[in-house]
Amino acid sequence: MQLRIYQQSWPIAGAFTISRGSRTEARIVLVELLESGFTGRGECVPYTRYGETIESVTTQISNLSEKINQGMTRQELNELLPAGAARNALDCALWDLECKRKGCSIWSLLDIEPHSVTSAYTLSLDTPEKMHEKAVEHQHRPLLKLKLAGKGDLERVQAVRQGSPQARIIVDANEGWTPEIYQELIPELVKLNVEMIEQPLPADQDSILSEFEHPITLCADESCHTRKDLHRLKGRYEMINIKIDKTGGLTEALELKAQAEQSGFKIMVGCMLGTSLSMAPAFTLAQSAHIVDLDGPLLLAEDRPNGFSYTTASEMQLLKPQLWG
């Protein structure tokens, strides 16, 4: 098995801003695994929040070249690398390669009957006035996800609700709130019919959530990476956000989803900001998720060939086999 690694940059349509900063490009690492005339592909998005860079992830992958040449399996990969972007790219490339070699689809391998899913559409963090304008522009979308940061968040949600009165609204604080902000905002967000709050507090400070009332579903993002995290999330959250760049690939993501469901958690399937190749493995997880947030390609200025098609209502059409799986 031969390894190829590419570092790529994909321009964002405008800018993408969350509580931790703003950017205008999505930087990704693309992996190709070649064997017997077949090519498996996987894409990952290194994330600085988890200490990852394009260079560090590329090095992690390159260091496994010899193991890959010897025919490394997904099980061996999970023992060789920790959960994270590098393992994700390789794991997804191995799944894709298996589909190509066997001449079957990912749906056959996973025994899933696929269908289209509706994704949330993300409104980047901005002033209430700007977010109102975006809400009006995208009021045809049934599910809006708002990036928040703390100060001024109530005004932001009010502005979006006014601009898109019929939409379902979920919000993501990206660890940007304090316990005091949480307690102040909750009653008002209930009035605004917000149905889910993602990662309100920093991951290392979220134990206090078990002491608060949860009239709105709380979803763990930065606090949940793999199955090992589930035991401490009970009582703090009702939902987890599964992202394959956090789990280190589809293999662990499938196990995490199954165990989380058995433990009574609802499932959200999310993404980092990448191309349709990043969304493709996650699309298999999204088939039975409560909330899907796979709008990465909609936020880019351009996408890969054979990428996902989205309706104006953010409905993701079926995965194209030419893309992945």
Enzyme catalytic residues: 147, 243
Residues 6 or more apart whose Cβ sits within 8 Å of residue 235: 209, 210
Per DSSP bridges, beta strands 315-316 and 21-35 are: unpaired
Contact between residue 171 and residue 198 where contact means Cβ atoms under 8 Å apart: yes
Where are any strands of DSSP class E within 53-151? 117-118, 121-123, 143-147
Token pair of 203, please? 């991951």
> Shortest CA distance to 220 belongs to which of 232, 285, 288?
232
Token pair of 307, please? 């990428």
The CA distance from 205 to 223, in Å, is 10
SS3 for 243?
coil
Q: How many residues are listed for the chain in this entry?
A: 325
Contact between residue 44 and residue 86 where contact means Cβ atoms under 8 Å apart: yes
Residues 6 or more apart whose Cβ sits within 8 Å of residue 11: 24, 25, 26, 300, 301, 302
Contact between residue 168 and residue 192 where contact means Cβ atoms under 8 Å apart: no
Q: What is the dihedral of CA 44, 54, 78, 88, to 10 degrees?
A: 0
Phi and psi at 250, nearest 5°, equal -70, -35
